Chain A
Amino acid sequence: MDTKPYMQDRAAEEFFSRLERGEFQTTRCRGCGETHYPPRVVCPACLGEDMEWVDLPRQGTLLAFTRQADAIRCREPDVLGLVELEAIGNVVTRIDAPFEELSIGIKVAFDTWTSPDGVALHQFRPTT
């Protein structure tokens, strides 16, 4: 079974390969200075294609979270969350904590996680 995540464009390939190296980065347009999340191959602000990769914040706020049971690469129920990165936006991510111990508004920090099928992804963990 091929469970590799779907890569929609070169920006996605680059984002996930940087994650494998522990880098949490996104695109910034060299033309107009706009920072995007998710990374883009074309800048929606100016239509430029000349991008540099810049660090994303590694601290965020937990906006919402749930537990999904039926999903590719999480056979066991796993916590999925939405984390707000200041001045960037919302990131869909795994939350590395039991569902029952979480609450909306807590501070969380970036980490990498390798899924059981060997895919490097990001996850966030409560900072307390």
Chain B
Amino acid sequence: MAAAFIVGVAMTDIGWHERDPHDMGVRVCAEALRDAGLLPSRVDGLISTPHGYMSGTRKMISQRMADCLGIECGLMLDVDSGGNSSSVAVHIARDRIQGGKIKSCLVFAAQREVPPRQIRGDIVGHFHLIKAANSLYDSYQAAYGVISPLPFYAMAIQRYMHLHGIDAEDIARVAVLLREHALRHPQAAYSEPLTVEEVLGSKVLTPPIHRHESSEMHDGAAAVVLVGEELARGDGRAVRVAGMREAHDATSFVPYRGEISRFPCVGRAAHGALEESGYAIADIDVAEVYGAFAGMEPMMYEELGFFAPGEAPAAIAEGRTTHGGEVLINPSGGRLSLGHPAYVTPLLEFVEIVRQLRGEAGERQRQGAAVGLVHTEQGFINGSIVAVLDKANWR
């Protein structure tokens, strides 16, 4: 079976950016191609995502990049699948490469979002944006005025805590740990330490979610270069995409049947990706997991199979998911502390795992990291993609 490899990665600092997302995108694409040692004339495919949820109205993003970088290619696509978008892009690039249709693909995402604070400061002036946010949800959810998935996540976390006897400190500790991870990342949005007292003392946004337990919308850009074996062969820094699986539940935001604190698509995606790769969950050395809220992190670790239901908070408290633990989860700081430009986030996760497997993660390096996992999701974790990555073996 033909394989696909990641041979180039790049990301901007994560935070609030003034630059046009196209400008961020061009620079990050060039950096990833330089990292791959590939000139634009060798790029066969170009896939990107919208520039944001609120601001993402510009079309034909990949086409403009083709012109700017001089890429005459055989695949071009702008993907919009919410939070999964840029990992759908990686998945399609991998499939086309494995199928022999293209030899290389540049996947990029750049996001510059309208700051939510600005919206709240002028409800009337930005009412069209609030209506647009409300229209993400079906009539039976939208009627109650929701303009973000926050209340749905709040209810899932509340039930998870209720069913497993998890307390507020357990959840706050997750935010603190992710901040500790981010302090080792020079490109993270946050560089101030955080304590459990500060988390629990921060404003309750939507109970039980505190301000410091909720990821903010950030700006940033990232790019990943995938190639087939022909172009990757001999590259000692190449990372193989050993398995990848996408899985969706038949739900849109709140599930109308079943348990709101369970997310079956995560386990199906993980199972499929692991099976294809030939690895078991216990083989994973380092993982990037898409948890937009502190309370969602333990649930995702459990759905992925790292821990049994209800057991992740204790595992996190015991240091089993940090440096020196059995699996290093979200060494980047995760969505909460690396920062969360949603359309870019999956690529940021791939960048981190590639850096870890190359041994180029600096102070965040997991010694001897050989197998990594990326998990991404869309909506209210209505769909998930899991990728298993390992170091290319050219012997």
Residues in B207-228 with C-beta less than 8 Å from chain A: 207-208
Closest to B155 in A: A64
A7-B142 Cα distance, complex, nearest whole Å: 9
A92-B205 Cα distance, complex, nearest whole Å: 19
A67-B158 Cα distance, complex, nearest whole Å: 12
Q: Does the CB pair B140–A92 fall under 8 Å?
A: yes
What total of chain A residues lie within 8 Å of the partner, measured CB to CB? 37
Residues in B106-150 with C-beta less than 8 Å from chain A: 120, 124, 127, 130-131, 134-135, 138-148, 150
Q: Does the CB pair A93–B124 fall under 8 Å?
A: no
Closest to A99 in B: B207
Q: Does the CB pair B260–A71 fall under 8 Å?
A: no
Q: In the complex, which of the residues A15, A64, A121 contacts B144, with contact meaning CB atoms closer than 8 Å?
A: A121
Q: Is A74 an interface residue (CB 8 A)?
A: yes
Residues of B within 8 A of A15 (CB): 139-140
Q: In the complex, which of the residues B142, B143, B156, B205 contacts A64, with contact meaning CB atoms closer than 8 Å?
A: B156
B7 CB to nearest A CB, Å: 44
Q: In the complex, which of the residues B130, B142, B158, B256 contacts A89, with contact meaning CB atoms closer than 8 Å?
A: B256
Q: In the complex, which of the residues B143, B156, B207 contacts A5, with contact meaning CB atoms closer than 8 Å?
A: B143
A61-B109 Cα distance, complex, nearest whole Å: 43
Residues in A35-58 with C-beta less than 8 Å from chain B: 37-38
Closest to B124 in A: A1
Q: Is B6 an interface residue (CB 8 A)?
A: no
Residues of A within 8 A of B58 (CB): none
Q: Does the CB pair A90–B158 fall under 8 Å?
A: no
Q: Does the CB pair B134–A82 fall under 8 Å?
A: no
B18 CB to nearest A CB, Å: 26
Known: A64-B158, A80-B151. A71 touches B255 (CB 8 A): no
Chain B 348-377 per-residue mask, 1 if CB under 8 angstroms from chain A, else 0: 000000000000000000000000000000
Q: Does the CB pair A12–B140 fall under 8 Å?
A: yes
Closest to B250 in A: A44
Q: Which of B138, B140, B148, B159 has the most chain A CB within a 10 Å cutoff?
A: B140
Residues in A103-123 with C-beta less than 8 Å from chain B: 104, 119, 121
Residues of A within 8 A of B244 (CB): none
Chain A 72-114 per-residue mask, 1 if CB under 8 angstroms from chain B, else 0: 1110000011100000011111100001000010000000000
Residues of A within 8 A of B134 (CB): 6, 72
Residues of A within 8 A of B159 (CB): 63-64, 104
Q: Does the CB pair B147–A71 fall under 8 Å?
A: yes
Q: Is A16 an interface residue (CB 8 A)?
A: yes
A99-B206 Cα distance, complex, nearest whole Å: 11
Residues of A within 8 A of B155 (CB): 63-66, 80-82
Q: Is B395 an interface residue (CB 8 A)?
A: no
A5-B134 Cα distance, complex, nearest whole Å: 9
Q: Is A128 an interface residue (CB 8 A)?
A: no
Residues of A within 8 A of B139 (CB): 5-9, 12, 15-16, 38
Q: In the complex, which of the residues B120, B127, B154, B254 contacts A70, with contact meaning CB atoms closer than 8 Å?
A: B120
A70-B260 Cα distance, complex, nearest whole Å: 22
A79-B50 Cα distance, complex, nearest whole Å: 33
Residues of A within 8 A of B257 (CB): 89-90
Known: A6-B142, A38-B138. A68 touches B260 (CB 8 A): no
A26 CB to nearest B CB, Å: 10
Closest to B256 in A: A89
B162 CB to nearest A CB, Å: 5
Q: Closest 3 CB pairs between A and B?
A: A71-B145, A64-B155, A72-B145
Other than A71-B147, A119-B143, give 7 A-B pairs with Cβ distance below 8 A. Answer: A1-B127, A6-B134, A6-B142, A66-B207, A68-B151, A70-B120, A72-B145
Instruction: List 9 A-B pairs, Cβ < 8 Å.
Output: A2-B131, A5-B142, A5-B143, A64-B155, A71-B144, A82-B260, A90-B256, A92-B141, A92-B254
